[in-house]
Structure 1
Amino acid sequence: MRQGNLLYAQSGGVTAVINATAAAVIDEARARKVKVLAARNGILGALREELIDTSRESPAAIRALAHTPGGAFGSCRLKLKSLEADRARYERLLEVFRAHDIRYFLYNGGNDSADTALKVSQLAKAFDYPLTCIGVPKTVDNDLAVTDTCPGFGSAAKFTAVSVREAALDVAAMAETSTKVFVYEAMGRHAGWLAAAAGLAGEDPDAAPQIILFPERAYDEAAFLAQVRKVVDKVGWCVVVASEGIQHADGRFVADAGGGKDSFGHTQLGGVASYLAGRVKDQLGMKVHWTLPDYLQRSARHIASETDWKQAQAVGKAAVQMALKGDNAVMPVIVRSSDLPYRWKIEAVPLSKVANHEKKMPAGFIRKDGFGITASARRYLQPLIRGQAPLPYGSNGLPVYVTLKNIAVKQKLPAWDAG
């Protein structure tokens, strides 16, 4: 394949370290004299031919990008369907690629993004267009198959564990005359990885969080309330961490907001913490506080894990190397070779082994009573939150982040008709 341009796009919810991946992609490509274009607002920008010329950014800006949260080029939630159902969109992508001599496509996202990258590679092959497609892993939910962990998760896990530990100290101080129960809602629609990470907050059996509710286990209200009562009677207070995706035995989400589906076809969830708090107050008569950290879980760069930050850069660098070698339709994944000491490496796996496969919490990571994590889970999770990712602070006491210029390249095609 003759050398052309590389297109990088971000997808879905961003993370505290997704820009570290972007910076590594740009740095590695520059070192190999490959121009990087970035799609504005993810795949939507690629369809609209809204492409950003990253060569217009200074080396200092790209270095700063590595510690800046958010999505520097914009992301979006736009799921492309099958090649048959969405053929016009896939063909439009190829038109844009041809127009801008794009020979490498790096799609930084989760499951749906891996599936899209795979389908784009298949269509390019069918049209005999020389294109190398690489899926680059990213998600705070840690639910991508094959990879040991997913960049973005470690930092969100660290934020969760630290927040729960600090909140628990507050609750313990006030429990005698005020709050008895505190409920913390963690992200996780079908997989309870972030809720499990809260278990790192305490090691003693009576330490917070005393109760964790996982989507992998059916929610039993009677058992839950009985456990809250048991903990409060013994400890004097109780911290509950609940995954947003916990379900009743019949499969209904406890926090189904009744708001239809999002653009990925997911049920709109909302308010599991407030719901549980209400049930505790009504049924047990205890004073309850609750919190919904929501975006804070994935944007908290100030407390990012060093492990996560390094892995985010490693997959970006490896993605470029794989693309230039011609390793088409693959994803660079993290492979753990040792727990103690913690060691890992990057390997390429076919996108077909990642796309549309969801990694849930292993049964052996959840305590037999369903309300906490096991030693195996702790062994797996602990290394992922270690270390503090470097972050410069200004004289105003705030982190120094960068806003890129994001200068667009000239469009060459007719405007895209989304209809």
Structure 2
Amino acid sequence: MPKKNAFYAQSGGVTAVINASACGVIEAAREHDDRIDRVYAGLNGIVGALREELIDVSQESVDSIAALRHTPSGAFGSCRYKLKSLEQNRAEYERLIEVFKAHDIGYFFYNGGGDSADTCLKVSQLSEKMGYPIRAIHIPKTVDNDLPITDNCPGFGSVAKYVAVSTKEAALDVASMCDTSTKVFILEVMGRHAGWIAAAGALAQETEGDAPHVILFPEVAFDKEKFLARVQKTVEEKGYCVIVASEGAQYEDGTFLADAGSVDAFGHKQLGGVAPTLANMVKSELGLKYHWALADYLQRAARHIASATDVEQAYAVGRAAVEMAAAGKNAIMPTIERAPGPDYDWSVGEAPLNEIANVEKMMPKEFISEDGFGITAAGRDYLLPLIQGEDYPPYHNGVPQYAKLKKVLVEKKLKEGFDV
């Protein structure tokens, strides 16, 4: 393939380390200047491509790109915009190919979860049919840790570390006040269908009986009576009870405890807050004083407490995506492969997108304790290596210093716009 430009975009909910993947892509692309000319980034993800709003990454300094490695959120802007199927809206995909062709883009790097893997695959397939083949590589990213095949997903390790640390610190607070104050503390974490993040709360435990005392997973049907009995027993025995609850906790019939009655741009149900729902149960049924907290954006933006393992893996899959594309590979995703054995070792592998797109990886049953309120030794063995190591950003005047990009847009070449 002759020398072409590359396009990179960030998709969906951002993470503490997605920009480390961006750093890996851009630095590797600059090293492959025999294959890749310029790197463009979508302003606000794939929406930037549809609107022909392309950031000229060559306008960013070497230092600014390097600083992406320790910068949270999506430096180029992300979006929650799901492209429909080819049958429903072929025009969207054709528009992408037209924009890529107008700007001589031959490489497409899409950094996101299952939905973006699907988009990446479709762009690869349609571009061939339209006579302008694009090498499309999906770069894994999701705090939910629910992409298949890959051992884990960049973004998850740092959220897991944040949740484990927050659970431990909050538990110490509650324990110190439980004699005359709060008896129950509930931390609500992300995880719509998969309970990986909630499971990470268990890493706060150092000895048997430590908090959290109850974990609620989407994979385990919520039993109100069983839950309240466990809370009551824990308070009686320890004086307090700490709960980590996944936002996707649901009843046996699949109804979410916190169904808000609406859906987001991806067609997912909007969840209205499982923590206050549980708190109301505790208050009305048990009469116990409570506090609850919603980790929300804090858990995925906390770069100051990121896992060093997570940062390294995020950067590695970004670099690998470029290496794979330069080697002529297409419609694949770099994966993280865990070596067998007691010592944690990993490497970068690859998987075809038709086995990745729109497939969710749930918590295995063998990772969840028999009573459904905790994790097993196997679950702990899986999770613990992913939160190892610290990778602090530089600080100035007591706060972290993060990258600030110019985000200079290239001149549009297509006369007609595109409504998004």
Shift of 1:234: 1.0
Give the match for residue 364 of structure 2: 362
Q: Report the CA distance between 1:204 and its aligned residue.
A: 2.3
2:398 is aligned with what amino acid? Answer: G
Q: In the alignment, what sits opposite 2:402?
A: 401
Contact 1:17 1:308 in 2 (8 A): yes
SS at match of 1:227: helix
Q: What corresponds to 1:151 in structure 2?
A: 154
Partner Cα separation in structure 2 for residue 164 and residue 295 of structure 1 = 16
**260, 265, 268: which one pairs with 2:267?**
265
The residue number in structure 2 matching 1:23 is: 23
- Alpha-carbon RMSD across the aligned residues, in angstroms, is 0.9
2:354 aligns with one of 352, 355, 376: 352
2:300 to 295, 298, 301: 298
Structure 1 distance, partners of 2:220, 2:207, is 23
Instruction: For residue 191 of structure 1, report the CA deviation from its aligned partner.
Output: 0.1
Secondary structure class of the residue paired with 2:242: strand
Report the equivalent of 1:241: 244
Aligned runs of 1:137-176 on 2, under 5 Å?
Answer: 137-176=140-179
Residue 67 of structure 2 is matched in structure 1 by 64
Matches within 5 A, 1:267-286: 267-286=269-288
Over residues 154-187 of structure 1, what are the superposed CA-to-partner deviations in whole Å (9 max), with x where a residue is unaligned?
0000000000000000000000000000000010
SS in 1 for 2:404: coil
SS for the counterpart of 1:105 is: strand
- Contact 1:48–1:415 (CA under 8 A) maintained in structure 2: no
Q: What amino acid is the match of 2:24?
A: A
Cα deviation for residue 317 of structure 1 reads 0.2
| d(CA) in 1 for partners of 2:341, 2:377 | 13
Greater Cα shift, 30-39 or 153-162: 30-39
Could you tell me which residue of structure 2 aligns to residue 413 of structure 1? Answer: 414
Residue 79 in 1 paired to residue 82 in 2? yes
**How far 1:65 sits from its partner (Å)?**
1.2
The aligned amino acid for 2:384 is: Q
What is the CA deviation profile of residues 121-140 of structure 1, one whole-angstrom value per residue up to 9, with x for unaligned ones? 01011112121000000000
Amino acid at match of 1:398: V
Distance of 2:287 and 2:206 partners within structure 1: 29
Tell me the distance in 2 between the aligned counterparts of 1:22 and 1:270: 32
1:82 Cα deviation after fit: 1.1
- The within-5 A match list for 1:172-211 is 172-211=175-214
In structure 2, distance between residues paired with 1:263 and 1:42: 14
1:315 corresponds to: 317
Distance 1:105 1:417 in 2: 20
Distance 2:394 2:105 in 1: 35
Deviation at 1:349, TM superposition (A): 0.8
Structure 2 stretches lacking a partner, 5+ long? none
Contact 2:32–2:326 (Cα < 8 Å) also in 1:
no
* SS state at 1:283 partner: helix
- Which residue type is aligned with residue 408 of structure 1? L
User: 329, 340, 350: which is aligned to 2:331?
Assistant: 329
- Name the residue aligned to 2:57: 54
- Percent identical among aligned pairs is 61
Q: Which residue of 1 aligns with 2:383?
A: 381
SS in 2 for 1:338: coil
Q: Which residue of 2 aligns with 1:217?
A: 220
One-letter amino acid matched to 1:403:
K
In 1, Cα distance between equivalents of 2:204 and 2:292: 17
CA offset at residue 118 of structure 1?
Answer: 0.3
Flag as ranges the 4+ runs of structure 1 deviating above 3 A.
Answer: none
CA distance in 2, matches of 1:316, 1:9: 12
Give 1:54's aligned amino acid.
Answer: V
Cα deviation code 1:71-92 (max 9, x no counterpart): 0100001101111111000000
User: Is the Cα contact below 8 Å between 2:138 and 2:332 reproduced in 1?
Assistant: yes
Aligned to 1:14: 14
Aligned to 1:227: 230
Which amino acid in 2 is paired with 1:17?
V
Distance 2:293 2:340 in 1: 36
Check whether the contact 1:336–1:343 (CA below 8 A) recurs between aligned residues: yes
| Contact 2:24 2:319 (8 Å CA) reproduced | yes
Aligned partner of 1:114 in structure 2 is 117
**CA-to-partner distance for each residue in 1:13-33, whole Å, 9 max, x for gaps?**
000000000011000000111
- 1:339 touches 1:380 (CA, 8 Å); kept in 2? no
Q: Output the CA distance in 1 between the equivalents of 2:129 and 2:279.
A: 54
Check conservation: 1:338, 1:344, Cα contact below 8 A. no
Q: TM-score, normalised by structure 2?
A: 0.98
Q: 1:375, 1:261 → 2: CA distance?
A: 36
Question: How far off is 1:339 after superposition?
Answer: 5.1
Letter in 2 for 1:304: A
C-alpha displacement at 1:105, in angstroms?
A: 0.1
Residue-by-residue CA offset, 1:318-347 (whole Å, 9 max, x unaligned): 000011111110000000003532100101
Query: Alpha-carbon deviations, 1:225-278, whole Å to 9, x = none?
Result: 0000111111111000110001111111100012x1100000000210011011
CA distance in 2, matches of 1:350, 1:189: 25
Q: Which amino acid aligns with 2:416?
A: A
Gapped regions of structure 1 (runs ≥ 5): none
Contact 2:19 2:69 in 1 (8 A): yes
Aligned with 2:146: secondary structure?
Answer: coil
Following the alignment from structure 2 to structure 1, what is the Cα–Cα distance between the partners of residues 112 and 391?
Answer: 21
